[in-house]
Every structure is written in structure tokens, then in C-alpha cells.
Amino acid sequence: MRSSDSSIAGLHARRVWDSRGNPTVEVEVATESGEIGRAIAPAGVSRGTREAIDLRDGGDVLGGLGVGRAVLNVQKLIAPELIGVDATDQEAVDEAIIALDHSALKARLGGNSTVAVSLAVMNAAAAAKGVPVWQHCAELSGATPSLPLPEIQIFGGGAHAGRRVDIQDFMIMVPGASSFDEALEITSEVYRAAGSLMSQKGALAGVADEGGWWPVFNHNEEALETLIRAIELAGEKPGDRVVISLDVAASEFGSKGKYRLALEDRELGREEMIRLLGRWIDDYAIASIEDPLAEDDKEGMRAFTQEFGRRVQIIGDDYLVTNTALLEEAITDEACNAVLIKVNQVGTVSEALDCLKVARKAGLGTIVSARSGETEDVSISHMAVGFGAQQIKVGSFSRSERMAKWNECLRIGDRIGQDTFVSGKPLASTDWARNIREGAC
């Protein structure tokens, strides 16, 4: 193969550590021109059963979470196949990776190996071209770069907070902000207000995995009531500039149409779960709900979307796991109206981008997301901007692995202009899904 300045000259993998103090994989890719691209694999604790598998060493050391085999796979299996491949040809790079592991879940190489390599190549390609990563991502996607609307956790729950509450994420968005920076400022005020309220009640137990407050609530709805009060304490009217977003992560406590709410010591059937969430939509300023039913509950997802899809954004995460085939099926079934894009769920940049393109073509909302086990890597900030995603979700408004991504979006905003921010006007929660579909936000 004829080499060029952007051809891959070498790959190096190492063990590094994520925000939980667990080992993960970092990869550096060098091009013939001497440019370097680097990326780190994130890790999720709330995981869909159909997403790419992190390859771990097992055994007693590091609780079995070692990544020695994954690092070795990069060095011994992936690197020889990529030497000489043009780093700017992301599709060719990812096809070479996939050819080494045709298993549905990247079980042979490990999704943590493949995603670190794929992202590192993306960063190396931008460096070789002498352009920002977001610009290279825009060239890959064919999208116009834009600053996405941040979706930010205020209270952590579920698997992210020792299951102190059943619902995984209680978040806010500020579609009424005039800029990305203003959205962060308003979020900061709500976050501080929520912490103050919890402290006054003696119900503050620190922060959860993603930096949101780790609360002590007696029932799930108490979290919603407290979040409404926090929005008001911050000087905002719930449902005006600020709206609530939930990640129910129902697969964590439900299967086969049954849902066990441990905090409230009760089990709900499918219809009862739908009615509960519907009442919350009626009573609170909820504009978006992620994974309202479990990943195995297609009937529930279809029923929920049929009833509420015109009122709120309904996101498939565990239900879709950034899988194009699953997304196409969900589009046919009308089982959701938005998709969460997590590159490590499928293992390569190209596969994640394919999923996003299918969603965009079908008129679904697109949200680029981080994982609960994160690092200082800011690749997804550039992907969200360059891929033209409508939202970005990276956790809360504390902890440096989260703030690094918000801050990177601010830096990118200085380059592309705050007028590229996807929102900029008040949106009532009942208008959210319509505005997403019509491209008004």
C-alpha cells in the first residue's frame, strides 16, 4: 500500500484509569507525518445486553477488571492490520478492525480495544490534516457543525448511585438559553440550588458516579419534586426555559413486562409503569424520557411512544445500543423518537456514525452520550459538534472528567460561533418532540 503523510505509522496501547479508578485502555496512533492521535475507552455500568463487551482479564487482581488482554489485542492483532492505512479514511480503518472480529458484541478483540483505536485514529487524522477534530468529524459526517443542547444530571440514581433511587438520571436541559454558555450558567444555578435543598433536609450523601448529587429520598417522586423546587429556587419557571429529562434505565429493574421499584417496595406491570410515567409527564416539566421500558419490552416501548411521542422526546439507549439494525427496526415499530449515540456500544466511530445518519434521515432526535466510567478524553465533544447532534449528555456539572467535555464545547463554540447553538428560544415541554422532528431546535 502506498503510504502518505496521513498513513498510520504505529499504534501503542497502554493501561490507564477511569473516573471510578478502574483500568481502561488508551491508544496512541502515529501518522507518517509524525502527528499523534490519542483516545481512551470509556466504560458503562448500566449496559444493554446487546452492546459491545469490554474485554477484562478476570481473576482476583483488580477485581477481575484488568485490561491486559485488551491492550495486547491492540498491539498484536489490530496494529499490524492498520499500519499503512490512511488515517483519514475512517471507514477503511474501522472495516479492518471489524474484519478481525465479526462477533456481534466485539467479544474477541474487546469493545474497549476497538473503540480506543477507532477514536485515536479519528484524532490522528484531524492532526494530520491540520484541522480541529470537530471539523474532521463534520467532513466524515457531511453535517454542518453545531453546538448541541447539553443534557445535564442533577441527581444520580440507579446503578450510578448505589440504587438509592430507582430512576437512574434526573437531569435538566435549557432549550430556552441563548447560548451554550448560558445553558451551562443556568444549569450551574439549578445544580447549586438542588445541593442546597438536599443539605437543608439532611438528605445529601455526596455525589454519584457522574457527579450528580447522591440523594437520600423516600420515593422516586420526591426527586422530581425536589428538582422542581431547585429550578424555581434558581429563579426559573419549570417548563419555560428549563425542562426536566429522565433516564429511567428500566432494564435495570424490569424484564418481561414487570418492573420492581425497590425504593417503594412495589412491582408494576407494563401498563402500570406506563401510567406512572404518564402521570409524571402531566405533573412535572418533563420533556424527555430515556429507556422508559426495558430493552426486552418492545410492546411497552411501542405503546409508550404511541401515547406520549407527540408530547416528549423518547430516547432509546439500552433498547437500541447504537445499533443500526435495531434502530431501523424501532423506526418501523415507531418505538421511540430519538436515539442515544454511544460509540463504545458498537465499538467503532463508523458504526456509531452510521446509526446517527439513519436516525437523522428518519427525523429522529440524536444525542451523543458519554458513559458513567469516563476520563479526560474529550473526543465526544468534537463528535457531537461535528456530527451535528442535537444534544450532548456527559453527566453532571461536577467532576473533572465531565467538566472537561463541557469546557471543550465552550472552546469549540469560540471557533464556530455561539449562533450555531441548536436552541435559543423557550420551548414548552409539550412542544419538545414536535420541535425535534421539525428541526426547530
Active-site positions read 210, 342
Separation between Cα atoms, residue 81 and residue 114, nearest integer Å:
13
Backbone angles phi, psi at 365, to 5 degrees: -70, 150
φ/ψ bin of 249: left (φ > 0), alpha (ψ from -120 to 50), beta (otherwise): left
CB neighbours of residue 218 within 10 Å: 11
Separation between Cα atoms, residue 128 and residue 6, nearest integer Å:
5
Separation between Cα atoms, residue 246 and residue 277, nearest integer Å:
10
- Helix 180-201, helix 220-233: angle, nearest 10: 120
> For strand 8-17 and strand 23-31, is the pairing parallel, antiparallel, or unpaired?
antiparallel
> For strand 254-255 and strand 243-247, is the pairing parallel, antiparallel, or unpaired?
unpaired
Separation between Cα atoms, residue 242 and residue 171, nearest integer Å:
10
User: Are the C-beta atoms of residues 52 and 345 closer than 8 Å to each other?
Assistant: yes
Separation between Cα atoms, residue 376 and residue 405, nearest integer Å:
8
CA distances (Å), 325 to each of 213, 320, 351, 352, 357, in order?
36, 9, 11, 12, 12
First CA to last CA distance, the chain: 45
